[in-house]
Chain A
């Protein structure tokens, strides 16, 4: 009562998955990438910010999701700097998220006209979750006195024009779990009408889609795929685009194994019912 496809050592499946990722990394296939409406909306929300406008990056990404989110952060910081927007990085979720924000900022700042304190600043972690967001929206100085490096915000020229929600043109929220983007919607979008966009890991994207469909979120990027789409829209293919070949081939491998597994299970069920006369 057995089928060969059910007897595969799982370690061979792991090996096949690893190879399906490694091969396209070494030999890129250049598979086409379709661009979703949601990614396009994110691009439009960013390009709609008037030059010199304030874009708030609420980074809720920790080291668990760094691999999937770091290029998204870098691309969006880069694009905002290129457009001449003022980039404000901060984190409301966890203190450790500040390190990811800093890593992304340092990676792209110098090559894209970013001058720390002039058109980009990292305010670090603001404790208190939504209470902190709410206060930040009504009076920035009430929750921020120094930046991530301990410099008083009064010494940073970029902070001169940022007093409250009236000066904020766009909130970009980067989420990795739970109901993260809802906090920004509750504290910035619903009461003040500030557009909210950003991106999340693919694992929670399904929870976010209802807020895109209702128009509350001005688009949202879906993990590495969303980042690749964004890179293509802004015509600057980068790291995420390179990873999409591996993504496609790996998904294909998983589909093949799912079909094999189902075929094997079905075969076992047929043999079993023929032998015993009982449907399984």
Chain B
């Protein structure tokens, strides 16, 4: 049993989702209305979450054992706002330099091993697997890796073996782009499916009635106007 409050929220949410979908029919005021609601809600939500995080990581975090870190963090954060005062704008550079310096230092610590070492190791295959399929798969992966790298060799002239290897590399790249596109479509579809599952439950599906009627009215109006 859905409570009245939940029913109102569900109907409003479904109305917003259908208004968003209505853009596929054509640009309309319902879509614009929902667009503004979404932007406003997201801005408000992010702002509220930011305040909670700020409060938790500064005032709530300060204790006799943890004093210096939160206070320094607070000051560094405060300096970021100095950019709004033209005469003190240079102070922002201190906060930015701490952020960028720390970020790069921490990222680089194991970046080479994570993104280079392990990845290179993963392409050095042993072709001695008892399974012939695994050996073939390894061979294809090795061919793909080498040929795709050749595509991005710009120094040698593109002729002879370089040209042919580069062509094979481009084919592998096209396959990779196709896979990426396929996954993107699948991801978009998943969101669409779950939205529809929210719509096709009681009492949300009631909103389909006004949506269909509005589109039918618009189609009739367009026909009468000859557009």
Interface residues of A (CB under 8 A from B): 11, 14, 17-18, 21-22, 25-26, 63, 65, 67-68, 71, 95-96, 98-99, 124-125, 127-131, 133-134, 141-142, 145-146, 150, 182-183, 185-187, 189-191, 201-207, 210, 213-216, 222-225, 239, 242-243, 246-247, 250-251, 254
14 A-B pairs (CB sep. < 8 Å): A96-B45, A124-B53, A130-B103, A130-B107, A133-B106, A141-B66, A146-B61, A201-B190, A215-B122, A216-B118, A243-B190, A246-B189, A247-B186, A250-B192
CA distance A88 to B24 in the complex (A): 41
B197 beta carbon closer than 8 Å to chain A: yes
| B21 partner residues in chain A, CB cutoff 8 A | 18
Chain A residue, CB-CB nearest to B120 = A214
Which of B87-95, B108-116, B150-158, B162-170 is the contact stretch?
A: B108-116
- The one of B106, B115, B179, B184 in contact with A131, judged by C-beta atoms closer than 8 angstroms, is B106
Chain B residue, CB-CB nearest to A98 = B49
A-B pairs with lowest CB-CB distance, top 5: A214-B122, A202-B187, A224-B190, A203-B187, A67-B194
Q: Are B194 and A68 in contact (CB-based, < 8 A)?
A: yes
Q: Are B194 and A243 in contact (CB-based, < 8 A)?
A: yes
| A242 partner residues in chain B, CB cutoff 8 A | 197
| Known contacts A14-B24, A145-B60; A216/B114 CB under 8 A | yes
B185 beta carbon closer than 8 Å to chain A: yes
- Beyond the given pairs A14-B24, A247-B190, 14 more chain A to chain B contacts, judged by CB atoms under 8 angstroms and listed by A's residue number, are A21-B193, A26-B200, A68-B194, A98-B49, A98-B53, A124-B52, A130-B107, A145-B66, A146-B56, A150-B56, A150-B60, A187-B110, A189-B114, A243-B193
Q: Are B193 and A190 in contact (CB-based, < 8 A)?
A: no
| B194 partner residues in chain A, CB cutoff 8 A | 67-68, 71, 224, 239, 243
- The one of B119, B122, B176 in contact with A206, judged by C-beta atoms closer than 8 angstroms, is B176
CA distance A93 to B188 in the complex (A): 22
CA distance A191 to B106 in the complex (A): 12
| B107 partner residues in chain A, CB cutoff 8 A | 130, 183, 186
B121 beta carbon closer than 8 Å to chain A: yes
CA distance A43 to B88 in the complex (A): 54
* Total A-B residue contacts, Cβ distance less than 8 Å: 153
Interface residues of B (CB under 8 A from A): 21, 24-25, 42, 45-46, 49-50, 52-53, 56-57, 60-61, 63, 66, 69, 102-103, 106-107, 109-111, 113-115, 118-119, 121-122, 141, 176, 179-180, 183-197, 200
| B186 partner residues in chain A, CB cutoff 8 A | 202, 223-225, 247, 251
CA distance A17 to B21 in the complex (A): 12
Instruction: Give, as a whole number of angstroms, the nearest-CB distance from A129 to chain B.
Output: 7
CA distance A204 to B180 in the complex (A): 7
Mostly, the B contact residues are helix
| A22 partner residues in chain B, CB cutoff 8 A | 196, 200
CA distance A80 to B163 in the complex (A): 52
Q: Are A65 and B46 in contact (CB-based, < 8 A)?
A: no
Q: Are A67 and B49 in contact (CB-based, < 8 A)?
A: no
| B118 partner residues in chain A, CB cutoff 8 A | 190, 214-216
| Known contacts A99-B49, A131-B103, A186-B109; A68/B114 CB under 8 A | no
| A145 partner residues in chain B, CB cutoff 8 A | 56, 60-61, 63, 66
CA distance A71 to B66 in the complex (A): 37
Instruction: Give, as a whole number of angstroms, the nearest-CB distance from B101 to chain A.
Output: 10
Instruction: Give, as a whole number of angstroms, the nearest-CB distance from A72 to chain B.
Output: 10
CA distance A95 to B193 in the complex (A): 27
Q: Are B119 and A205 in contact (CB-based, < 8 A)?
A: no
Chain B residue, CB-CB nearest to A205 = B183
| Known contacts A142-B69, A150-B56, A186-B114; A222/B183 CB under 8 A | yes
